[in-house]
Amino acid sequence: TGLLSLGALAAAGLWLLNPLFRVLAKAKAREVMTAAALLVVLGAALLMELGGLSMAMGAFVAGVLLSESSFRHQLEADIEPFRGLLLGLFFLGVGMALDLDVVARDWRLIGLGVIALMLAKALCIYGVARFAGSGRADAIDRATLMAQGGEFAFVLFAEALRLTVISPAINADMTAIIVLSMAITPLVVAVRKRYARAESASLDGVEAPQDLRGNVLIIGFGRVGQIASQGPLARGAELSIIDNDPDVVRNAARYGFKVYFGDGARADVLRAAGARHAQVILICVDDPVAATRIVENARRECPHTRLVVRAFDREHALELVRLDADHVVRETFEAALLMGRHAVLALSATDQEADDLEAEVRGRDTERFALETAGGTFAGRALLLGNIERIDPPRHDRKPGTPVPPENGGG
């Protein structure tokens, strides 16, 4: 009977759930979708109980089936308000399942059980992770996080107890082992993060810079550095490129780039990479702190070299300008302007109107950035166009086609 119930539930999940939710989705009522999901869970629990299995088993199987449906993301969003509450109730139930008298009576057995469970599970997970190609540090992290017992154990223990496969005493001991492994795991993870040494990346196949002479030095060869390299290359420039990620260094070779391994935030690496011989240094790293250090060192090592720097945000750009960076490019500014242009075109504007509006926004941002450079973060606030109240109407004194002032480092 239990197998028949399980088979019927699996068949319903495979062939009925998606059509059901497809019909409900057309109604465009989130409450109906939520109610249907709850009905599926309750129905599955009832079906399992009628088949001689536990309601918890039915609820678990229903959750698995719902997670495999085409509407899982919508259902996940619908139950989001209840997630925290239900998660709290779950851990409350887990805590109440722990019998402290049993722990006090069988503490040796339970302690050894917790250690054996977590070690055995951690070793298995570590082995699987390494077999799947994960690095040593990643495999240890996964083993540490997942060494605890799972919540499905409570379902199995309850079913085994109901069928008298295990005694109440054994059930209490095994439940205590699972609960304590859950409680200990955050502590083990904290200890791992605090005392474990970061695994050093393999440096096979990488080369450190030495006496480079390129007239353009690129520091950081991720997405931004790769695209930024194309302009100088098209101009015929000789590039020197460094990056502190060995994987980036190795992968770049497949695309025809010679990248050297080195940390651009170090003055000795800048000298070896030829910073003093470069006409321009492109600082394309995605770490704001590292970018700031590179600018500081580059200014000391090669004060006359032009620095073009990738800035994380507006505040970072202001900091870089104060450190005497020549050109600061905010990493999202141009993309945001382009999105605004497409939005204006979608509002039936002509290309010329879109150009004028883009020039207006760019000019306002340039003026605002200049004011902020001199007077602080909110000095140019009046130049922003808000959707509550327009503080300052758009300027119409600039004729179409009039050049906009230079970006002034605003990116």
Q: Which among 209, 202, 186, 187 is positioned nearest to 272, based on CA atoms?
A: 209
Helix 55-67 vs helix 30-50: angle between axes, to the nearest 10 degrees?
140
pLDDT-derived band of residue 135, with 50, 70 and 90 as boundaries? confident
How far apart CA 352 and CA 358 sit, in angstroms, is 10
pLDDT average, residue stretch 259-271? 91
Assessment of whether the complete model's pTM goes beyond 0.75:
no
Check whether 296 has a pLDDT greater than 90.
Answer: yes
pLDDT computed for residue 204 by the predictor = 63
Q: What is the pLDDT of residues 33-71, one digit of tens each?
A: 788 888 888 888 888 888 877 777 777 788 888 877 777
Domains recognised in the chain with CATH numbers: 2-78 (no CATH), 99-195 (no CATH), 205-331 (3.40.50.720), 333-411 (no CATH)
Check whether 159 has a pLDDT greater than 70.
Answer: yes
Continuous segment of H or E residues that includes residue 239: strand 239-243
Q: What is the mean pLDDT of the chain?
A: 83
pLDDT computed for residue 63 by the predictor = 81
b or e along 312-323 (b: 16 or more beta carbons within 10 Å of the residue's beta carbon)?
bebebbbbbbeb
Check whether 390 has a pLDDT greater than 70.
Answer: no
Q: Check if the beta carbon of residue 322 is closer than 8 Å to that of residue 377.
A: no
Task: Name 282's bridge partners.
Answer: 218, 308
Higher pLDDT pick, 85 / 167: 167
Check whether 173 has a pLDDT greater than 50.
Answer: yes
Cα dihedral sign for 25, 26, 30, 34? negative
Q: Outline where 16-167 has alpha helix (H).
A: 17-26, 30-50, 55-67, 72-78, 80-97, 100-105, 107-131, 136-145, 152-162
Check whether 131 has a pLDDT greater than 50.
Answer: yes
Residue type, 48: M
pLDDT computed for residue 377 by the predictor = 67
pLDDT average, residue stretch 141-167? 84
b or e along 85-96 (b: 16 or more beta carbons within 10 Å of the residue's beta carbon)?
eeeeeeeeebee
Q: Edge-to-edge, what's the strand order for the sheet holding 306-311?
A: 260-261, 239-243, 216-219, 280-283, 306-311, 327-330
Instruction: Please tell me the least confidently modeled range out of 45-59, 144-158, 276-290, 310-324.
Output: 45-59
Check whether 80 has a pLDDT greater than 80.
Answer: no
Q: Check if the beta carbon of residue 44 is closer than 8 Å to that of residue 62.
A: yes
